[in-house]
Amino acid sequence: TQLLEQSPQFLSIQEGENLTVYCNSSSVFSSLQWYRQEPGEGPVLLVTVVTGGEVKKLKRLTFQFGDARKDSSLHITAAQPGDTGLYLCAGTLRMDSSYKLIFGSGTRLLVRP
Amino acid sequence: GAGVSQTPSNKVTEKGKYVELRCDPISGHTALYWYRQSLGQGPEFLIYFQGTGAADDSGLPNDRFFAVRPEGSVSTLKIQRTERGDSAVYLCASSLGLFDYNEQFFGPGTRLTVL
């Protein structure tokens, strides 16, 4: 059972369209991160959200952390072919005396010119 | 400066063999993490080090997997008696300090294929 459910798993859209990717869990996270991963490379951090209800913007990307810190969304406005890639959400769980970074299964985005 | 590097980039081995995967973290980063990413999945936590000690190894799937970081810098992930199910991309990451608000920087990964 995936602790962090990401949807959709795959998204193919036309350049200029908007899209939203969702990340949901029944667990409360101390923070949530969004990464982008290109083929043959490791994930690269896009943003970290910490406070429930927090909204962060990165150019055409808008990230929101749910009020209860259990879910998050990534919205891309006017998608471009350069946005193509694998988007991963990851939540930080405090367990005993350590932290764990739990990743979702990813959303593979294809933006067609 | 240089990012996290991992060697080899690709490793093909036969079932039952022993393999070692190496990770060179960013200089000065005290925390180092290993993840495994299977096809179509997100990375799955294996183990992390703070300095030389394994702070949490609860993600290692079984006792065939072991990791060391003897001098608090380079780390080696060791897999004994490899099985086909071990095939995946093994990612290493490092950060200035422990988890949470410290950004983890990932290496490009080692793609392990067990035939």
Residues 6+ apart with CB under 8 A from A7: A21, A22, A24, A107
- Residue B1 pLDDT exceeds 60: no
Q: At B96, is the pLDDT very low, low, confident or very high (cuts 50, 70, 90)?
A: confident
Q: Do you know the residue count of chain A?
A: 113
Give the pLDDT confidence score for residue A8 in this predicted structure.
96
Q: Choosing among A1, A24, A25, A37, which should be mutated to test the B contact, i.e. which has the most B CBs within 10 A? A: A37
- Residue A104 pLDDT exceeds 90: yes
Tokens, residue A2 = 């995936």
What's the average model confidence in pLDDT over A72-100? 90
Query: Does A68 lie at the interface with B, CB-CB under 8 angstroms?
Result: no
- The residue among A75, A84, A89, A90 whose CA lies nearest residue A108 is A84
**CB proximity under 8 Å: B 6-35 to A:** 33, 35
What's the average model confidence in pLDDT over B41-67? 92
Distance in angstroms (rounded) separating the CA atoms of residues A14 and A91: 30
What's the average model confidence in pLDDT over A85-94? 92
Distance in angstroms (rounded) separating the CA atoms of residues B68 and B59: 15
Under 8 Å CB pairs connecting chains A and B tally to: 62
What's the average model confidence in pLDDT over B84-110? 88
Tokens, residue A41 = 């490379």
Give the closest-approach CA distance of A84 to chain B in angstroms.
16
Q: Looking at A25-84, which runs of residues are DSSP E strands? A: 31-37, 44-49, 55-58, 61-65, 71-76
What's the average model confidence in pLDDT over B107-113? 97
Bridge partners of residue A108, in order along the sequence: A10, A86
Q: At B101, is the pLDDT very low, low, confident or very high (cuts 50, 70, 90)?
A: low
| Nearest-CB residue to B42 (from A50, A94, A104) | A104
**CB proximity under 8 Å: A 72-101 to B:** 88, 90, 92, 94, 98-101
Higher confidence at residue B99 or residue B103? B103
Distance in angstroms (rounded) separating the CA atoms of residues A73 and A64: 5
Distance in angstroms (rounded) separating the CA atoms of residues B94 and A60: 28
Give the pLDDT confidence score for residue A93 in this predicted structure.
83
Element (H, E) at B89: strand B88-95
Residue type, B75: S
Where do we find the tokens 């798993």?
A9
Q: Do B42 and A106 touch (CB under 8 A)?
A: yes
Question: What digits encode the pLDDT tens for the residues A1-53?
Answer: 568 999 999 999 999 999 999 999 999 998 999 999 999 999 999 999 999 99
Angle at A62 between CA A61 and CA A65, to 5 degrees: 140
Give the pLDDT confidence score for residue A91 in this predicted structure.
92
Q: Do A92 and B100 touch (CB under 8 A)?
A: yes
